[in-house]
């Protein structure tokens, strides 16, 4: 692979890589605002300037400047190297580039930073980006001096509602155009643009339109400063109180990688942010997926239910035993869930087909919905593929309703509350459901055992391509909930069997090892702002 040198360090690159991208691939940051690895480069912020040394015999690229002679107090003509934007300059074999080691580059970064802050309100104490803002980070890294301008800054529109989800603050905007390019290049809806010139620049929505669609949250995420905020997260939390877990979005079969930001003091999830994964979601997530963090709390089944009434877990297990006592295995069916993890489904398959000996295996999940060619899959379940891998030829839920109506099946053990079809016909059977969320199946259940949500225990999910991805635990379990695989072990014991699984580790060994994609290990104590882990 060809290489160039950055501050003396050899950097390998692929043909076509820019200097900044080659460095970024190695985890070396050249400061930048407008560049984003998933977007085109307009090279408009000038924060990424670097010095490229001339090759032997090559004429150096220089600029004529006026320099103050401090002894005489007079200006004199001088020359300095012409710095180049590393986000636009292609890497070339043998090139020598100076970034952190060039005094000219350091001065340029300081001055670009001062320029960007000239008219900036510096309202960090009330800004949602505070703690994860590039202006803050780069002031500390590259400026560290007070603003010299004493004039009233130029004022611009504030609190502009761009659409149902996003609010814009023109005074905080550094005009990097990342939001404009994201909407045009990724969302394929060029609804944002820049108007006016110089210090009157502002970002606007096309006349007659609003910023809407399925990818508006990403404009806030690519914004390097606090100019775009989501109505959902605005004024809700300070990011330095948040911790983050590497999660897998539960919104559809794409299985986008996400950071789940939560506040451990309140055991509460606050937002999702995309986690980079070139193979799955690149740098992006959709709005619907970003909002599924709310399901860590909403629609939950926190306590055991018997006949729809809350009961202690022991009483619910006793009731399950009473319902299933002496029932022949041919009359018992199990329902795996595309909403639950591979581990949870494995435990139910083990209980149903090995311990009980049933041959009737069905699957449930949420109904299909909107899809596009960007990210969103019509299958709104995170683990349909996993269920198919565990139980090839697994039958659809309507067939179970038919079996129950024909009295061939009289008893059902199901995972998850979701169902895509009318399951009222199951009321004539005795149904035990282990679920994190309420849904049609919990409504027809005689006994419900509360399970932890994906946010409360680690789990593995196979996305539409069959890629097994692990989602980390973030929150503590709600109420009496426990991981579904643990509830199923308790249910197995209550029904008189000896469960062959006692831990997640045992299940994973039986499942064939770890997930294909494990999240990179993250420091436990750093705030979400430091834990970007993503592109930006
Ligand atoms: S709103 Fe944010 S992303 Fe858009 S141009 Fe301004 S600073 Fe850049
Ligand atoms: S595309 Fe699917 S997996 Fe990705 S964020 Fe949206 S809902 Fe979640
Ligand atoms: S990152 Fe290169 S000019 Fe903005």
Q: State the pLDDT at residue 147.
A: 87
Instruction: Encode pLDDT of 180-236 as tens digits.
Output: 999 999 999 999 999 999 999 999 999 999 999 999 999 999 999 999 999 999 999
Ligand 1, atom 6, lies closest to the CA of: 173
* Residue of 24, 36, 43, 109 to mutate, ligand 3, most atoms within 8 A of C-beta: 43
* Residue of 177, 181, 204, 221 to mutate, ligand 1, most atoms within 8 A of C-beta: 177
Q: Give yes or no for a contact between 185 and 39, defined as CB atoms under 8 angstroms apart.
A: yes
pLDDT at position 530 over 60:
no
Residue range 256-279: mean pLDDT, rounded: 97
| Burial of 195: CB neighbours in 10 Å, binned 0-12, 13-18, 19+ | exposed
Which region among 115-119, 469-473, 509-513 has the lowest average model confidence (pLDDT)? 509-513
What is the pTM for the complete model shown?
0.93
73-112 burial, b for 16+ CB within 10 Å, e for fewer? eeeeeeeebebbbbbebebeeebebbbbebebbeebbbeb
Describe the chain by its helix, strand, coil percentages, rounded to 5.
Answer: 25, 20, 50
Q: Is the CB of 286 under 6 A from ligand 2?
A: yes
| Domain 304-511 = CATH 3.40.50.2000 | no
CA distances from 183 to 163, 177, 206, 211, 223 (A): 13, 10, 12, 9, 12
pLDDT at position 520 over 70:
no
Q: State the pLDDT at residue 513.
A: 62
* Residue of 35, 47, 173 to mutate, ligand 1, most atoms within 8 A of C-beta: 173
Question: What residues does each domain of the chain span?
Answer: 3-69+79-118, 160-296, 304-511
Q: State the pLDDT at residue 243.
A: 98
Ligand 1, atom 3, lies closest to the CA of: 223
The DSSP call for residue 481 is: -
Instruction: Encode pLDDT of 375-389 as tens digits.
Output: 999 999 999 999 999
Share of the chain above pLDDT 90, in %: 94
Residue range 411-425: mean pLDDT, rounded: 97
Q: What CA–CA distance (Å, rounded) separates 435 from 438?
A: 7
Q: State the pLDDT at residue 512.
A: 82
Q: State the pLDDT at residue 535.
A: 53
Residue range 439-451: mean pLDDT, rounded: 98
Ligand 3, residue 86: give the atom nearest the CA.
2
Fold classification of 3-69+79-118 is Ubiquitin-like (UB roll) (3.10.20)
Ligand 2, atom 1, lies closest to the CA of: 376
Distance 177 CA to ligand 1 centre (A): 5
Q: State the pLDDT at residue 82.
A: 97
Q: Is the CB of 253 under 6 A from ligand 2?
A: no
Average pLDDT in the chain: 95
Ligand 1, residue 174: give the atom nearest the CA.
7
| Domain 160-296 = CATH 2.60.40 | no
Ligand 3, residue 44: give the atom nearest the CA.
3
């Amino acid at each position: 692979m060809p290489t160039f040198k950055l501050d003396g360090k050899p950097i390998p690159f692929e043909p076509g890589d820019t200097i900044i991208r080659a460095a970024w691939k190695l985890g070396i940051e050249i400061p930048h605002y407008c560049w984003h690895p998933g977007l085109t480069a307009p090279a408009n912020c000038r924060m990424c300037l670097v010095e490229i040394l001339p090759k032997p015999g090559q004429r150096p690229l220089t600029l004529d400047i006026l320099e103050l002679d401090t002894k005489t107090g007079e200006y004199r003509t001088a020359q300095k190297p012409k710095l180049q934007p590393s986000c636009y300059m292609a890497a070339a074999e043998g090139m020598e580039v100076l970034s952190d080691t060039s005094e000219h580059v350091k001065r340029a970064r300081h001055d670009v930073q001062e320029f960007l802050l000239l008219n900036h309100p510096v309202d960090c104490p009330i800004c949602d980006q505070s703690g994860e803002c590039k202006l803050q980070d780069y002031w500390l890294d590259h400026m560290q001096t007070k603003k010299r301008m004493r004039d009233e800054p130029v004022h611009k529109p504030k609190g502009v509602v761009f659409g149902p989800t996003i609010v814009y603050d023109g005074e905080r905007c550094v005009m990097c155009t990342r939001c404009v390019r994201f909407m045009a290049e990724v969302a394929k809806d060029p609804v944002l643009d820049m108007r006016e010139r110089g210090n009157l620049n502002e970002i606007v929505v096309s006349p007659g339109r609003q910023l809407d669609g399925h990818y508006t949250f990403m404009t806030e995420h690519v914004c390097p400063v606090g100019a775009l905020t989501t109505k959902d997260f605005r004024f809700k939390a300070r990011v330095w109180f948040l911790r983050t877990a590497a999660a897998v979005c539960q919104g559809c079969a794409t299985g986008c990688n996400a950071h789940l930001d939560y506040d451990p003091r309140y055991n509460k999830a606050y937002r999702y942010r995309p986690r980079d994964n070139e193979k799955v979601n690149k740098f992006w997530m959709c709005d619907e997926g970003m909002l599924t963090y709310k399901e860590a709390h909403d629609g939950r089944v926190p306590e055991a239910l018997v006949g729809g009434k809350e009961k202690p877990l022991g009483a619910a297990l006793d009731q399950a035993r009473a319902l299933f006592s002496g029932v022949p295995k041919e009359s018992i069916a199990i329902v795996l869930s595309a909403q639950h993890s591979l581990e949870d489904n494995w435990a139910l398959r083990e209980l149903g087909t090995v311990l009980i000996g049933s041959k009737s295996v069905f699957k449930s999940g949420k109904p299909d919905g909107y899809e596009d060619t960007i990210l969103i899959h019509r299958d709104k379940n995170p683990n349909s593929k996993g269920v198919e891998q565990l139980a090839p030829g697994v039958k659809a839920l309507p067939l179970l309703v038919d079996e129950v109506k024909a009295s061939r099946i009289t008893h059902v053990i199901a995972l998850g509350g979701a169902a895509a079809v009318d399951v009222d016909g199951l009321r004539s059977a005795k149904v035990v459901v282990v679920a994190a969320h309420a849904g049609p199946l919990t409504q027809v259940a005689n006994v419900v055992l509360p399970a932890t949500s994906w946010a409360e225990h680690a789990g593995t999910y196979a996305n539409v391509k069959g890629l097994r991805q692990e989602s980390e635990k973030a929150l503590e379990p709600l109420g009496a909930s426990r991981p579904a695989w643990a509830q199923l072990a308790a249910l197995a014991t209550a029904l008189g069997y000896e469960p062959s699984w006692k831990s997640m580790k045992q299940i994973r060994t039986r499942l064939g090892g770890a997930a294909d994609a494990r999240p990179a290990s993250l420091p436990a104590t750093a705030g979400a702002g430091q834990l970007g882990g993503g592109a930006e």
